[in-house]
Chains A and B, each alone.
Chain A
Amino acid sequence: MTDKGLFIDRVTITLDGREIVSLSRRVAPGVVLTVMGPSGVGKSTLLAYIGGFLDPAFTASGRAFVDGVEVTALKPEDRHMGILFQDALLFPHMSVGGNLLFALPAGSGDRQERLRRMRQALAGVGLAGLEDRDPATLSGGQKARVALARVLAAAPRALLLDEPFSKLDAALREQMRELVFSKARETGLPVLLVTHDEADAEAAGGDIVKLGE
């Protein structure tokens, strides 16, 4: 039981000898750990390190485990970290459905089954029937929902959220928070949230770590 969830084991990130992040934490399945700090303190580097795309300018040590597997020893594509950024970043050269099909793991059934799961994923974020749309024609809130559905479709081991709500307007932001955190609880995913917005941390409900103080 202690192995379940995300375990950040003495992760330290430095830039030119200056320490930016130093953290040891456990995040249980379905629980959110919020990392807060003003912009520019490098809180996103923690996500980058766990996700496997830390800029070579930084030096990092320490390990991260998910369900007992040391993900920091794996290639980025083998870590299965679901990432959400500020922008939805839907692939502009694919339809909405194409974005989701691209995310579905390769071994998940025949063509019909994959299409069924894609539609189900879209319906799960309240966007049933939009699979043939060009992502460019969606509203901001719809794009954010598709991005969430896409991340979940890939069956990730954990969610890494990099200020995912900051570009949405106030009403939409609340809805998205609700949706993201409830999905994480449903699927039992540990979540690492990086934000500078107190309200995000409050809605997340879990522990809060403050950087840069």
Chain B
Amino acid sequence: MLTRLGPLLAIGVLTVPVAFGLAGTLLPAFGFLPVLGGMRFSLAPLTALFAEPAIFSSALMSLVAGLATALVSLVVVMLFTAAWSGTRAFARVQHLVSPLLSVPHAAAAFALAFLIAPSGLIARVISPELTGWQRPPDLLIVHDPLGLSMMVGLIVKEIPFLLLVTLAALPQVKPARTRALIASMGYGRVAGFIFGLWPSIYPQIRLPVFAVIAFATSVVDVAVILGPTTPAPLAVRLVGWMNDPDLSLRYLASAGALLQLFVTAVAIGLWILFERLAARLRDRCALAGWRLRADAPVRWSALLLMLLSGGAIFAGLATLALWSVAGLWQYPDVLPSSFGLRNWMRVLPHLAGPLGTTLLVGLASTLAAAIIAILCLAREDEMGHAPGRWAMALLYLPLVVPQVAFLFGLQLLFILSGVQATLTALVLAHLVFVLPYAYLSLKDPWRAFDRRYDQLAAGLGKGAWRRFLFVRLPMLTRPILAVVAIGFAVSVGLYLPTVLIGAGRLTTITSEAVALGAGGNRRVIGIYAFLQMMLPAVGFAVATIVPALIFRRLRDMQV
């Protein structure tokens, strides 16, 4: 049966690149790299790594960024859900924040940079009246040595992600009932939620939290755009070595990747320790019966932080769009003195290549991911049960292992087998990251499908293919198109896989945007970042409008 292929393909896509990639990364770290003549075990690469200037500051920066990002974004999401879930304000903020999930990290980072830089929109709004600045002040806000703006950039992007996974877990714990019960005992809203509901929600979102830590400890694009430069976070330096024309630096890069793996593991280890402490603290407060009813300041701060983080990206994106059509824009004017499409006309000829690659790779990897996800779910139907916990852990494998640690090895393997910088290799690399999201977003609608339709159609004499094509597929058009839009958004946002596997010969809008970021031409960056943000948006628009048109005359097929 065809469906048996589903789980096999999924396991293959999720594990083989990670396993071979890690091997390809780790062996050179110990001196094995036969193509370059490295045949013997050696600690020289590691020694060389530790001799690099400020390597420990880089590692520490990565560690702190990972933990701080996870902690702040999780606390904001937890408090906001605690304080507001079930209210109309919650639903509104949820609708406001959800689209931000599809904004690529790099675009969000640019948005923030354009907002908070000394020459950014905020400085322009308050200058010169409040500040007296007539020229951009010489302040290191973006690229600050402590990495604060990098962490803020990561936090505003992870908040929508963690909010969405929390929302997915929320209905299973029957919040309305429990909330009423706990409130009747006189607990404050926030405390009651944290004591009574959060303990059953958190285990369900734990893997996504680990994914946030892994991503933030090893992020490259956001770090390049917002992060410190002297020294840069570990992953940024790694990628520099990996792409260096001097091939002997590959050993150093491998040793660095090993360190990156260690840093991420330590970060997750520290987080687990923190989980225990926090749970103990929570239990102590709960068992002491603290009602904590005066929580209004907490509630309003949570709402404010939520709005601030969402608002920052929106305002930044608007600034980006403005720059892309700006003519002369003098400091400290709030708006450009002229607008025009000249920037676009100039950049347009260069866009075709990256845009084509982005669309092709995005659609191909998403299509493959959707097919594999459907096969897996169909197989689950045949087996009569969902896969065990190990399958979930497997799904998060490419998200919890730092990208840079296995993509580098994968790049080496692709070079050796001569497929580097081919579209197939790039699609495969993207598929590794698109598949988990495709499966996760399809599984609930798939399982919610009333299987009696299927049984009934079989009774009408329809075989498995016809049942799938004429009953299940059309009835699931909406969620399947949504999955395609999500997968496409993930693919559009992928930076590191594109840079390493595309090797500079295949570029996407995202990889181009980050590369241009160093140049500092705001109008050109504005165009690329604007496109980055628009591509996923167009995907979601298509996923909404197409089924609405097809089924416009059928009421039960509307939302």
Give chain A's interface residues, CB within 8 Å of chain B.
48, 51-53, 55-57, 75-83, 85, 87, 89, 91-95, 102-103, 105, 134-137, 150-151, 154, 156, 160
- The reply to whether A81 and B475 form a contact with Cβ atoms under 8 Å apart is no
CA distance A46 to B475 in the complex (A): 28
Is B330 part of the binding interface, using a Cβ–Cβ cutoff of 8 Å? Answer: no
- The reply to whether B555 and A91 form a contact with Cβ atoms under 8 Å apart is no
CA distance A77 to B462 in the complex (A): 5
- The reply to whether B460 and A93 form a contact with Cβ atoms under 8 Å apart is no
Is B292 part of the binding interface, using a Cβ–Cβ cutoff of 8 Å? Answer: no
Residue interface bits B226-240, CB-to-A below 8 A is 1, else 0: 000000000000000
A93 and B475 in contact, given A51-B455, A80-B461 (Cβ under 8 angstroms): yes
- The reply to whether A93 and B551 form a contact with Cβ atoms under 8 Å apart is yes
Question: What 17 new A-B contacts, CB under 8 Å, besides A105-B461, A136-B555, A154-B459?
Answer: A53-B451, A56-B383, A56-B385, A57-B384, A77-B464, A78-B461, A79-B459, A85-B452, A91-B475, A92-B554, A92-B556, A93-B474, A93-B551, A94-B554, A103-B460, A135-B556, A151-B459
Is B471 part of the binding interface, using a Cβ–Cβ cutoff of 8 Å? Answer: yes
A53's partner among B455, B460, B554 (CB-CB below 8 A) is B455
Size of the chain B interface, CB-CB below 8 angstroms: 31
CA distance A93 to B461 in the complex (A): 19
CA distance A85 to B471 in the complex (A): 17
Contacts of B551 in A (CB 8 A): 93
- The reply to whether B455 and A76 form a contact with Cβ atoms under 8 Å apart is yes
- The reply to whether A83 and B459 form a contact with Cβ atoms under 8 Å apart is yes
Is B413 part of the binding interface, using a Cβ–Cβ cutoff of 8 Å? Answer: no
- In the complex, which residue of chain A has the Cβ closest to the Cβ of B555? A136
- The reply to whether B452 and A93 form a contact with Cβ atoms under 8 Å apart is no
- In the complex, which residue of chain B has the Cβ closest to the Cβ of A55? B384
A81's partner among B450, B459, B464 (CB-CB below 8 A) is B459
Contacts of A82 in B (CB 8 A): 459-460
**B466-492 CB contacts (< 8 Å) to partner A:** 466-467, 470-471, 474-475, 477
- Give the Cβ gap from B548 to chain A, nearest Cβ, in Å: 13
**B421-463 CB contacts (< 8 Å) to partner A:** 450-456, 458-463
- The reply to whether A154 and B471 form a contact with Cβ atoms under 8 Å apart is no
A89's partner among B456, B462, B477, B557 (CB-CB below 8 A) is B456
- The reply to whether A136 and B556 form a contact with Cβ atoms under 8 Å apart is yes
- The reply to whether A93 and B384 form a contact with Cβ atoms under 8 Å apart is no
Question: Can you report 20 residue pairs joining A to B where beta carbons are below 8 Å apart?
Answer: A48-B455, A51-B459, A53-B454, A53-B455, A76-B455, A80-B461, A81-B459, A82-B459, A83-B459, A85-B452, A89-B450, A91-B453, A92-B556, A93-B474, A102-B470, A103-B460, A136-B555, A137-B555, A151-B460, A154-B461
- Give the Cβ gap from A51 to chain B, nearest Cβ, in Å: 6
CA distance A78 to B553 in the complex (A): 33
Contacts of B462 in A (CB 8 A): 77, 102
Contacts of A105 in B (CB 8 A): 461
- The reply to whether B555 and A89 form a contact with Cβ atoms under 8 Å apart is no
- The reply to whether B458 and A51 form a contact with Cβ atoms under 8 Å apart is yes
Contacts of A102 in B (CB 8 A): 460, 462, 470
- The reply to whether A136 and B470 form a contact with Cβ atoms under 8 Å apart is no
A77's partner among B451, B461, B554 (CB-CB below 8 A) is B461
- Give the Cβ gap from B312 to chain A, nearest Cβ, in Å: 41
**Most-contacted residue by chain B among A75, A92, A93, A94 (CB, 10 A):** A93
- In the complex, which residue of chain A has the Cβ closest to the Cβ of B455? A53
Contacts of B556 in A (CB 8 A): 92, 134-136
Residue interface bits B161-185, CB-to-A below 8 A is 1, else 0: 0000000000000000000000000
- The reply to whether B455 and A154 form a contact with Cβ atoms under 8 Å apart is no
Contacts of B451 in A (CB 8 A): 53
- The reply to whether A93 and B557 form a contact with Cβ atoms under 8 Å apart is yes
- The reply to whether B453 and A89 form a contact with Cβ atoms under 8 Å apart is yes
Contacts of B382 in A (CB 8 A): 56
Contacts of A89 in B (CB 8 A): 450, 452-453, 456
B456's partner among A83, A93, A134 (CB-CB below 8 A) is A83
Contacts of A83 in B (CB 8 A): 455-456, 459
What 7 A-B pairs come out closest when comparing CB atoms? A56-B384, A136-B555, A92-B556, A76-B458, A83-B459, A136-B556, A154-B460
Contacts of B461 in A (CB 8 A): 77-78, 80, 105, 154
CA distance A78 to B458 in the complex (A): 8
**B348-394 CB contacts (< 8 Å) to partner A:** 382-385
Contacts of A91 in B (CB 8 A): 453, 471, 475
CA distance A110 to B477 in the complex (A): 30
- Give the Cβ gap from A83 to chain B, nearest Cβ, in Å: 4
- In the complex, which residue of chain A has the Cβ closest to the Cβ of B554? A134
**Most-contacted residue by chain A among B450, B460, B471 (CB, 10 A):** B460
Contacts of A151 in B (CB 8 A): 459-460
Residue interface bits B512-523, CB-to-A below 8 A is 1, else 0: 000000000000
- Give the Cβ gap from B506 to chain A, nearest Cβ, in Å: 39
- Give the Cβ gap from B332 to chain A, nearest Cβ, in Å: 57
- In the complex, which residue of chain A has the Cβ closest to the Cβ of B471? A91
- In the complex, which residue of chain B has the Cβ closest to the Cβ of A54? B384
- Give the Cβ gap from B492 to chain A, nearest Cβ, in Å: 30
